[in-house]
């Protein structure tokens, strides 16, 4: 096998010479490598995600993107509380976490009232921050 392990290290010509099995093998090796690197996971928040103060996220801005059947929440979506009050999500995954023009909210996102999203109803869509890489611009920036 080529000493360049990951597909991202290969030129287009080198990739075209690989068999399907070699491509799959390299993809799996890269995934295994990334899973073992020290990182912190941030699940994407969804419609129905909960906050510290008992609020529920109402994902209404982007009604096209779902994870495990739940609409993803975006910065600007509202959280509603039992007493009927609301507060908007003000931080999310930053510039690199934008889908169809909407910044995805994540577990850890803050609200205008100081509350914070603490869970998600899905576990398939996550953002990973690796210890050896810079934090993406705007990630959980609520200032």
Local structure of 67: helix, strand or coil: strand
Contacting residues for 2 by C-beta, under 8 A, at least 6 apart: 10, 14
**pLDDT greater than 70 at residue 3:** no
Between 61 and 52, the higher pLDDT residue: 52
Q: Percentage of residues in the chain with pLDDT exceeding 70?
A: 97
Q: For position 2, what pLDDT does the model report?
A: 46
Q: What is the mean pLDDT of residues 101-130?
A: 93
Could you tell me if 103 and 74 are in contact, meaning their C-beta atoms sit under 8 angstroms apart?
yes
**pLDDT greater than 70 at residue 54:** yes
Give the torsion sign (CA, 65, 32, 49, 101).
negative
Q: For position 1, what pLDDT does the model report?
A: 46
Contacting residues for 118 by C-beta, under 8 A, at least 6 apart: 49, 50, 51, 52, 107
Contacting residues for 48 by C-beta, under 8 A, at least 6 apart: 56, 57, 70, 121
Between 104 and 5, the higher pLDDT residue: 104
């Amino acid at each position: 096998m080529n000493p360049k392990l990951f597909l991202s290290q290969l030129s287009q010509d080198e990739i075209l010479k690989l068999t399907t099995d070699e491509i799959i093998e390299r993809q799996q090796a890269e995934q295994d490598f990334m899973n073992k690197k020290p990182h912190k996971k941030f699940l994407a928040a969804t419609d129905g995600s909960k906050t510290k103060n008992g609020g529920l996220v109402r994902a209404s801005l982007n009604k096209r993107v779902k994870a495990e059947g739940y609409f993803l929440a975006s910065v600007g979506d509202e959280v509603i509380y039992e007493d009927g009050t609301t507060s908007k999500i003000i931080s999310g995954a930053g510039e690199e976490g934008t889908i169809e023009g909407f910044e995805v909210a994540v577990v850890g996102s803050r609200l205008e009232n100081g509350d914070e999203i603490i869970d998600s109803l899905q576990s398939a869509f996550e953002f990973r921050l690796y210890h050896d890489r810079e934090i993406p611009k705007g990630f959980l920036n609520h200032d």
